[in-house]
Amino acid sequence: MKPFLLVSCFLFVLACSEKTADKTASLTKFTVTLLDTVYVDSGEEILYLQSGLGGAHWSDDGAYLYNFNLYDNALEIIDLYNLKLDKKIHFDKEGPNGTGRVQNVCYAGDGKIALSEFHQIGLFDINASKQATHKPRSEVFKKDSLLSNETLDVSGVLDENGQNFISFYTIGFANPLGIAKLNLQDNALTKTPIPALADWSAHRLEWTDENGSSAAYPAIHLHRVNDKVLLYSEAKNELFVYDPTDEAVAHFTFHSELMPNSRSPLSKTDVQSDEEFQEVLKEFRHQVRFLHFTYDKTHKRYYRFSQFFVNAGSENASVKPLLTVFDENFEQLYETSSLPVDKIYTTYFAKEGKIYLYENMMDEMAFIVLQIEEG
């Protein structure tokens, strides 16, 4: 889950189905109350909080948080039931077991860990021993192949058994075309095109000159929940759900009564100078953001925060959070902007009817706890 500094009837190629939730279910109501603020006991260690947990990985049952400490080149495993540091695994940065500069972390269970950096994926065991290295840009894959202008994004996830690395493949710089599944045993690549991702380009700004390329775009989220992979952009009120078993993609579009369902398209998506780039970049201000989905395994519900602006575009503009509740089949149940917190929290997880909002409090890992109750 990361931003990185990562039904009308329609049928996509390769079994991509589309579903629309046009209305919020009016009979389902929830109350949201501020319950507590809790702290993580780190013992004698100092937890890495400098990136705001932006590159951390959460287990889908809300039991553990896996946070990579760039200073110590170590994986911090946080026990979220007991709110304490469970263990810290130190890795070599260079050499045969080297990680390089870690950009993304994914823990699949059974001691299988994927640590990605720029253009390669390192697979490690729980003892920090490297088992394999994959370099998508230079490898020749079985089955499907990447075209010369395509790239496999290394900010992906491992499936439940750690047999497959799943991400999205892109054209240019992080411009997604579809889902890519790489079998780590036989090096077979399966590409699943998703034509609807082309709509995301309306919210993407690019500039290229002789010195290189720059791009600005709403964050793209990809993570695994309940053996499915969720893919979505912060620009639109929608979700793509990929099933690694049959490689089918379901497309869900949602409707909010309280905020816009999409960002406004940019006036330009290609510019010719840095000055023009900075000018168009101002259009990103006062735009809506649809943040990440989190799953409550106990109640079989998904929650998602979003942000929108009141009096957008004026000097009196203010940002507000909105909470949306979905059932396990992504049926929208409820939404509300009447929340006991006003701040926009971009990092959070759900467990046992509660949402835990990450907060750095005096350099300690803390969570503000909201109780979500039906009725």
Query: What one-character-per-residue DSSP string does 326-358 give?
Result: EETT--EEEEES--S--S----EEEETTEEEEE
Q: What is the pLDDT of residues 256-302, one digit of tens each?
A: 999 999 999 999 998 988 899 999 999 988 899 999 999 999 999 99
Is the predicted pLDDT of residue 179 greater than 60, yes or no?
A: yes
* Residue 226's pLDDT band (cuts 50, 70, 90): confident
Say whether pLDDT at 17 is over 80: no
Among 141, 137, 110, CA closest to 126: 110
Which tokens go with 176?
Answer: 């997604």
Specify burial of residue 303 (Cβ count, 10 A radius: 0-12, 13-18, 19+).
Answer: buried
Question: N- to C-terminal Cα distance for the chain?
Answer: 30
Q: Look at residue 283 and give its three-state secondary structure.
A: helix
Q: Which range is least confidently modeled, 130-134, 229-233, 344-348, 351-355? A: 130-134
Higher pLDDT, 5 or 314: 314
- Cβ neighbors of 180 (< 8 A, separation 6 or more) are 152, 156, 166, 167, 168, 169, 189, 190, 191, 192
Nearest to 307 by CA among 317, 298, 295, 319: 319
Residue 13 has pLDDT above 80, yes or no: no
What is the per-residue pLDDT across 182-218, written as a single tens digit (0 to 9) for each? Answer: 998 889 999 999 999 999 999 999 888 877 788 899 9
> What's the rounded Cα separation, in Å, for the pair 49 and 95?
27
Nearest to 256 by CA among 18, 21, 8: 21
**Per-residue pLDDT at 325:** 97
Going by pLDDT thresholds of 50, 70 and 90, the confidence category of residue 21 is low
Q: Give the pTM.
A: 0.89
* Six-digit token string for 64: 């553990």
Rounded to an integer, the average pLDDT of 325-336 is 96
pLDDT digits (tens, 9 = 90+) for 69-106: 999 999 999 999 999 999 999 999 999 999 999 988 98
DSSP helix, strand, coil percent of the chain (3-state; round to 5): 5, 50, 45
Torsion of CA 235, 239, 243, 246, to 10 degrees: -100
Instruction: Give the mean model confidence (pLDDT) for residues 138-165.
Output: 88
pLDDT, mean over the chain: 88
* Residue pair 343/56 in contact by the 8 Å Cβ criterion: no
Q: How confident is the model at residue 55 (pLDDT cuts 50, 70, 90)?
A: confident
Residues 317-344: what's their mean pLDDT? 95
Asked if 134 and 142 touch (Cβ cutoff 8 Å), the reply is no
Backbone angles phi, psi at 134, to 5 degrees: -120, 130
Distance CA 225, CA 293 (A): 9
- Contact present, 23 and 29 (Cβ < 8 Å): no
Residue 321 has pLDDT above 90, yes or no: yes
Q: Write out the two tokens for 249.
A: 């993609």
